[in-house]
């Protein structure tokens, strides 16, 4: 008989939805939203629904595979684990444990997914990756300004008079916030969308502001300039709760509104108008992550923070510089799970430049790469170098559900369970502050085993099995230890399916910031000269590289796909996807291109071919290709992107990318 059971979406997404899963005869039949979830209220997206297809897909890897003479062969778990553990042992003895690279991303929000780190720490410490392709520049930026990156609770947007959606593709990537926007609009709030693409959220906006990619920091400077000219700034906040305001004043004096308008390609009247909007408090600002994937990304977020601060919208209900909500992740004791104290050796590579670093590594060279919860060949910038690096090491181990482009390169592919095949708890530090529970609903197909099982077996073979002699129950309790002191227990979480975390609903309400000075810092005191705000522009722009801009005149964005979470869903579509190249109207006119034309987009790093689609109202000279596409469907846009790091070193510059385009005959 069919049963409907509570579960949770594990995908790396803003929304962290509660699910209801129909199970019959040990098989997942259907995935729907859980109406009792306090935030997601029964609505989910297609990616969530596709977790059913993902779990039942005939393309799942069912057995451990080993590449022999270029062909994958099925082997037993015993053989796979014996051979991998022997290699790990020999590498550690001969070269040291940092000759192993752990390459990962965050494809699964489960808490017990952190146990890969426990394994590598117990092993002695491997080469780890730092920084984030996703949101690194902006997180670091908010740490400089506020001391941390905290967001308002979802309900608070209903207190806003004005809502600024700044580079977030809400309707596509953050659907429950979209619902909230509709609710706020009904209550009378005005919505403004600032984005180079006229996306689905722009359609519900009171005004859409089209901007040249990467120029948002300058736009913020223009708005601040106008606020100060009109005397609309919050003097009390500036004098009592901030430091470094003089530096900002000096900075804005170095550029005119006319120049800002020319560079951002936003009309002066619009800049003036936005100054009024920010001053009619409360105005909430919701930044997206696309906004900061530029060389100047950290500075961009800091200038927008500064605008929110100057206009007096910090620490008030209905306001905020909302970017992420790290309060959520900080509620867990992940440190207990990862056992950092067990590591004796240490080396770090930047996630953006992991491939270059692998190729350049000496003392020790990288002898083995283990990939978990990531698909670097598709998702990491500058694919040709990624391919070279990941093919160069003597042993590549990939743990995944499917034969991804990265897995194809592997020496060993180990099949893992999907979230419905193991128990875990899930949260995201992006939007709301509820943690969800997912129990094991069905058994895994073939010989697929959980990541945790794999680490436990390897640990046993390597002689530190005791570190893994803990039940899931014990591990989950460990992660919730400090919450248990506040009366939030695993028992309650299991019973209800979701728990509200005790976080601040309106962060910085007390104006006590986590910076060195305890104030909001327009200039980050800890960072010296670098801590000052700047009028920075993208690296790949006519201002920084005129020659490059001449050769490659168009800005390439590579935003997140509607129907896939990154590379996770394309192969599950009922009809094979076609690579779509979306271009602004002026490009189609200049190059005489029509919808459906086969075109090629290229730059010095590589090329991608696909079919043209004219994107109405897109900012002039802008192209978009959705990210995540597998080689068999046309190939990743990361063939074109740069592995450069953002200004503060912790973010990617995936959208800071110039290209050219032409018809394929």
Ligand X SMILES: Nc1nc2c(c(=O)[nH]1)N[C@H]1C(S)=C(S)[C@@H](COP(=O)(O)OP(=O)(O)OC[C@H]3O[C@@H](n4cnc5c(=O)[nH]c(N)nc54)[C@H](O)[C@@H]3O)O[C@H]1N2
List contacts with ligand SF4 (CB under 6 A).
9, 11, 13, 15-17, 44-45, 47-48, 175, 565
With contact defined as beta carbons under 8 Å apart, do 165 and 185 qualify?
A: no
Which residue has its beta carbon closest to ligand SF4? 48
Residues 123-142 that bind ligand X (CB under 6 A): 133-134
Cα separations in angstroms, 438 against 21, 115, 121, 422 = 10, 17, 27, 8
Q: Which helix (H) or strand (E) holds 613?
A: strand 606-614
**Residue 383 interacting with ligand X (CB under 6 A):** no
- In angstroms, the CA 27 to CA 420 distance is 10
Phi/psi for 347 (5° steps) reads -155, 145
The binder of 16, among ligand SF4, ligand X, Mo ion, none, by C-beta within 5 to 8 A per type, is ligand SF4
Phi/psi for 431 (5° steps) reads -135, -80
Contacts of 85 (CB under 8 A, 6+ apart): 458, 461, 462
Among residues 6, 102, 172, 176, the one that binds ligand X under rule CB under 6 A: 172
Residues 283-302 that bind ligand X (CB under 6 A): 288-291
9 vs 480 by CB, closer to ligand X: 9
Cα separations in angstroms, 65 against 75, 80, 343, 368, 413 = 6, 8, 30, 17, 5
Which among 16-24, 188-196, 329-337, 512-520 is the span making contact with ligand X, rule CB under 6 A? 188-196
- In angstroms, the CA 546 to CA 413 distance is 45
Which among 138-146, 154-162, 190-198, 456-464 is the span making contact with ligand X, rule CB under 6 A? 190-198
488 vs 560 by CB, closer to ligand SF4: 560
48 vs 288 by CB, closer to ligand SF4: 48
Which residue has its beta carbon closest to Mo ion? 134
CB of residue 641 to Mo ion, shortest distance in Å:
14
The binder of 375, among ligand X, Mo ion, ligand SF4, none, by C-beta within 5 to 8 A per type, is ligand X
With contact defined as beta carbons under 8 Å apart, do 111 and 426 qualify?
A: yes
Among residues 372, 395, 523, 642, the one that binds ligand X under rule CB under 6 A: 372
Which is nearest to 408 in space by CA: 652, 235, 242, 631?
631
With contact defined as beta carbons under 8 Å apart, do 555 and 212 qualify?
A: yes
The binder of 17, among ligand SF4, Mo ion, ligand X, none, by C-beta within 5 to 8 A per type, is ligand SF4
Sign of dihedral through CA atoms 10, 13, 17, 23?
negative
**Residue 169 interacting with ligand X (CB under 6 A):** yes
β-bridge pairing 65-68 and 412-415: antiparallel
Structure tokens at 493: 């979480």
3-state secondary structure labels for all residues of 431-457: CCCEEEEECCCCCCCCCCECHHHHHHH
CB of residue 16 to Mo ion, shortest distance in Å:
13
Among residues 134, 223, 462, 499, the one that binds Mo ion under rule CB under 5 A: 134
Which residue has its beta carbon closest to ligand X? 290
Which is nearest to 120 in space by CA: 357, 323, 397?
397
CB of residue 380 to ligand X, shortest distance in Å:
7
Which among 6-14, 90-98, 242-250, 339-347 is the span making contact with ligand X, rule CB under 6 A? 6-14
CB of residue 285 to ligand SF4, shortest distance in Å:
22
Structure tokens at 24: 């019959």
100 vs 175 by CB, closer to ligand SF4: 175
**Residue 423 interacting with ligand X (CB under 6 A):** no
541 vs 565 by CB, closer to ligand SF4: 565
**Residue 402 interacting with ligand X (CB under 6 A):** yes
Which among 258-266, 370-378, 498-506, 576-584 is the span making contact with ligand X, rule CB under 6 A? 370-378
For residue 8, is the peptide bond before it cis, meaning its omega torsion is within 30 degrees of 0? Answer: no
Residues 63-92 that bind ligand X (CB under 6 A): none
Among residues 533, 557, 572, 659, the one that binds ligand X under rule CB under 6 A: 557
Which is nearest to 142 in space by CA: 354, 396, 404, 322?
322
Interface map 490-529 toward ligand X (x if CB under 6 A): ----------------------------------------
Interface map 427-456 toward ligand X (x if CB under 6 A): ------------------------x-----
Residues in binding contact with Mo ion, number by CB under 5 A: 1
Which is nearest to 8 in space by CA: 26, 39, 27?
39
Among residues 62, 75, 562, 614, the one that binds ligand X under rule CB under 6 A: 562
47 vs 92 by CB, closer to ligand SF4: 47
Among residues 64, 136, 561, 635, the one that binds ligand X under rule CB under 6 A: 561
The binder of 103, among ligand X, Mo ion, ligand SF4, none, by C-beta within 5 to 8 A per type, is none
Size (the chain), residues: 665
Query: What single DSSP character describes residue 541?
Result: S
498 vs 643 by CB, closer to ligand SF4: 498
- In angstroms, the CA 561 to CA 14 distance is 14
Q: Which helix (H) or strand (E) holds 115?
A: helix 115-123
The structure tokens 């494809």 sit at: 107
- In angstroms, the CA 237 to CA 229 distance is 17
12 vs 515 by CB, closer to ligand SF4: 12
Query: What single DSSP character describes residue 651?
Result: B
**Residue 559 interacting with ligand X (CB under 6 A):** yes
The structure tokens 């730059």 sit at: 603
Residues at the site binding Mo ion, with contacts judged by CB under 5 A? 134
Residues at the site binding ligand X, with contacts judged by CB under 6 A? 12-14, 47, 105-108, 133-134, 166-169, 172-173, 194-197, 199, 211, 213-214, 216, 288-291, 372-375, 379, 399-402, 404, 416, 451, 557-562, 565-568, 627-628, 637-638, 641, 654-655
């Amino acid at each position: 008989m069919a049963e409907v059971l509570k579960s949770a979406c594990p995908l790396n997404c803003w929304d962290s939805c509660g699910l209801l899963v129909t199970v019959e005869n040990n098989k997942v039949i259907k995935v729907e939203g859980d109406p009792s979830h306090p935030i997601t209220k029964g609505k989910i997206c297609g990616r969530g629904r596709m977790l059913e297809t993902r779990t039942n897909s005939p393309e799942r890897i069912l057995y451990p595979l080993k590449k022999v003479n270029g062909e994958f062969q099925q082997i037993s778990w015993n053989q796979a684990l014996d051979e991998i553990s022997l290699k790990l042992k020999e590498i550690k003895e001969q070269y040291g444990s940092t000759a192993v690279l752990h390459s990962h991303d965050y494809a699964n929000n489960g808490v017990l997914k952190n146990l890969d780190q426990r394994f590598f720490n117990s092993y002695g410490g491997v080469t780890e990756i730092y920084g984030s392709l996703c949101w690194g520049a902006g997180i670091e930026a908010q740490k400089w300004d506020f001391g941390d990156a905290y967001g308002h609770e979802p309900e608070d947007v209903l207190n806003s008079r004005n809502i600024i959606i700044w580079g977030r593709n809400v309707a596509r990537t953050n659907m429950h916030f979209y619902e909230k926007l509709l609710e706020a609009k009904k209550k009378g709030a005005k919505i403004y969308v600032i984005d180079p693409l006229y996306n689905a959220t722009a359609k519900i906006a009171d005004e859409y502001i089209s901007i040249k990619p990467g120029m948002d920091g300058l736009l913020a400077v223009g708005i601040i300039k106008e606020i100060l000219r009109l005397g609309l700034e919050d003097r009390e906040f500036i004098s009592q709760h901030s430091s470094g305001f003089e530096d900002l004043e000096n900075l804005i004096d170095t550029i005119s509104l006319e120049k800002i308008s020319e560079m951002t390609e936003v009309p002066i009247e619009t800049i003036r108008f936005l100054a009024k909007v920010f001053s009619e408090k409360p105005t909430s600002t919701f930044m997206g992550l696309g906004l900061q994937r530029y060389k100047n990304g950290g500075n961009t977020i800091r200038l927008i923070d500064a605008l929110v601060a100057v206009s007096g919208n910090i620490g008030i209900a209905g306001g905020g510089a909302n970017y992420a909500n790290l309060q959520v992740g900080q509620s867990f004791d992940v440190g207990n799970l990862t056992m950092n104290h067990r590591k004796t050796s240490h080396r770090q590579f930047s996630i953006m430049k992991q491939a270059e670093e692998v190729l350049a590594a000496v003392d020790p060279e990288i002898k083995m790469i283990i990939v978990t919860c990531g698909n670097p060949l598709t998702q990491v910038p500058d694919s040709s170098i990624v391919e070279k690096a990941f093919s160069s090491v003597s042993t590549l181990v990939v743990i995944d559900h499917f034969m991804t482009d990265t897995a194809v390169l592997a020496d060993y592919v180990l099949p893992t369970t999907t979230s419905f095949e193991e128990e875990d708890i899930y949260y995201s530090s992006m939007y709301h502050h509820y943690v969800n529970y997912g129990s094991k609903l069905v058994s895994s197909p073939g010989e697929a085993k959980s990541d945790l099982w794999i680490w436990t077996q390897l640990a046993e073979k390597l002689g530190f099995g005791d570190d893994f002699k803990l039940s899931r129950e014990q591990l989950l309790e460990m992660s919730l230890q400090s919450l248990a002191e506040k009366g939030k227990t695993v028992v309650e979480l299991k019973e209800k399916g979701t728990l509200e975390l005790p976080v601040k609903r309106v962060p910085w309400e007390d104006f006590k910031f986590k910076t060195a000075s305890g104030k909001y810092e327009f200039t980050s005191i800890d960072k010296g000269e670098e801590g000052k705000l700047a009028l920075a522009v993208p690296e790949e722009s006519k201002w920084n590289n005129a020659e490059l801009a001449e050769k490659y005149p168009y800005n390439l964005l590579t935003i997140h796909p509607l129907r896939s979470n990154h590379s996770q869903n394309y192969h599950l579509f009922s009809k094979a996807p076609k690579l779509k190249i979306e271009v602004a109207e002026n490009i189609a006119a200049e190059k005489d291109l029509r919808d459906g034309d086969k075109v090629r987009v290229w730059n010095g790093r590589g090329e991608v071919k696909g079919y043209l689609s004219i994107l109405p109202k897109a900012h002039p000279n802008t192209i978009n290709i959705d990210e995540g596409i597998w080689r068999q469907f046309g190939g990743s846009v990361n063939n074109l992107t740069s592995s450069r790091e953002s200004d503060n070193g912790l973010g990617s510059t995936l959208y800071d990318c110039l290209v050219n385009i032409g018809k394929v005959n």
